[in-house]
Chains A and B, each alone.
Chain A
Amino acid sequence: MNDAGFVVAAWGGTAAVLAAYVIRIAVRTRRAERSLPDGDPER
């Protein structure tokens, strides 16, 4: 792999990790909100 390959892996990997983490939090938050007795909108 040349330098460009490492750069693409680093930037692409970082974007993928951060996006996956944000999505995971969002999904779990949505699930937790649904279980609230008042149905909770964010407040």
Chain B
Amino acid sequence: MTGGARRAGLLGPRVSATTGVATAAALVALVVFGLAIAPPDEIQGDAQRIMYLHVPAAWAAYLAFGITTLASILYLWPRTRSIVWDLVAGASAEVGVVFTGLTLALGSLWARPVWGIWWAWDARLVTTAVLFFLYLGYLSLRRLPGTAESRGKRAAIAALIAFIDVPVVHFSVNWWRTLHQQATVFNPELDPQIHGVMAFTLWLGVLAFTLTYVYLLDRRYRLLALDEDREERELEAAIRARVGPGPAGGAGTTAGTTAGARAGVTP
């Protein structure tokens, strides 16, 4: 894929705009159902309405890190290696970190009225916090200097290592005795413990946050592609300024020259 094609984003302008509208509509519907139509929980009262955000945010984080892992595998696999997969992985990880941060904050806001505490050193909470910091580390790793290829490879390997924590987070409530409740929908018995309007609202939340993830991924990917193009242009300009025009009077450098020089020139 060329720089110009990458700049168009993953979805293209039309589909991206449509996704944006669909996302906004789904989020508005979620607000209406979550705050007005769904009844308060019999035991938790209105505090349970936070679950319509907390659970979808956790799902979106899982999805984001899953896509990061898939894109990283495709980048590491020689036959499918492309900078596109590296950019998809980076964009998806950043969106995943935002959703993980939301998951932690929303869980804390729910825990205070229901558990009476903001935080507990509970397996689910701790493994989720570890997940948050693992992917923050991944994003930091991506900012280290080096060639696009070396950055892509080390980031992809780090992404595969970080993803190990995702199933640990999900199954932590089954593996250890925790304060956090077990999965309501995807429990080991696959017997959802939520019904009617409350179940519908939860699924609506999952849909709305999935669309939000797709929209954010597309926008963030486009920004990464634009930044990548700018870096390439700046590097070529720097090489031209240092080397001067070629023997035929041309000012261009080959892609090989540029790629080879990146390691030395990039700060």
Contacts and interface: CB of A to CB of B under 8 A. Distances in A.
A14 B53 contact: yes
A18 B219 CA distance: 13
B220 A25 contact: yes
Interface stretch (B101-109, B123-131, B162-170, B255-263): B101-109
B47 A22 contact: no
A17 to B, nearest CB: 6
Q: Is the contact region of chain B dominated by helix, strand, or loop, or is it mixed? A: helix
Contact of B113 (A6, A11, A42): A6
A27 to B, nearest CB: 10
B184 to A, nearest CB: 18
A24 B13 CA distance: 19
Interface residues of A, number: 27
Interface in B216-242: 216, 219-220, 222-223, 226-227, 229-230, 233
A39 B31 CA distance: 39
Interface string A1-43: 1111011011101100110011001101100110111001011
Given A28-B223, A32-B226, A10 B216 contact: no
Contacts, number: 81
A43 B13 contact: yes
B98 A17 contact: yes
A4 B8 contact: no
Contact of A42 (B13, B35, B53, B112): B13
A22 B215 CA distance: 9
Given A22-B219, A42-B13, A3 B31 contact: no
Given A11-B35, A14-B102, A43-B7, A32 B50 contact: no
Contacts of B227: 32
Given A25-B223, A26-B219, A29-B222, A6 B109 contact: yes
Interface of A: 1-4, 6-7, 9-11, 13-14, 17-18, 21-22, 25-26, 28-29, 32-33, 35-37, 40, 42-43
Interface of B: 4, 7-9, 13, 31, 34-35, 45-47, 49-50, 53-54, 57, 98, 101-102, 105-106, 109-110, 112-113, 212, 216, 219-220, 222-223, 226-227, 229-230, 233
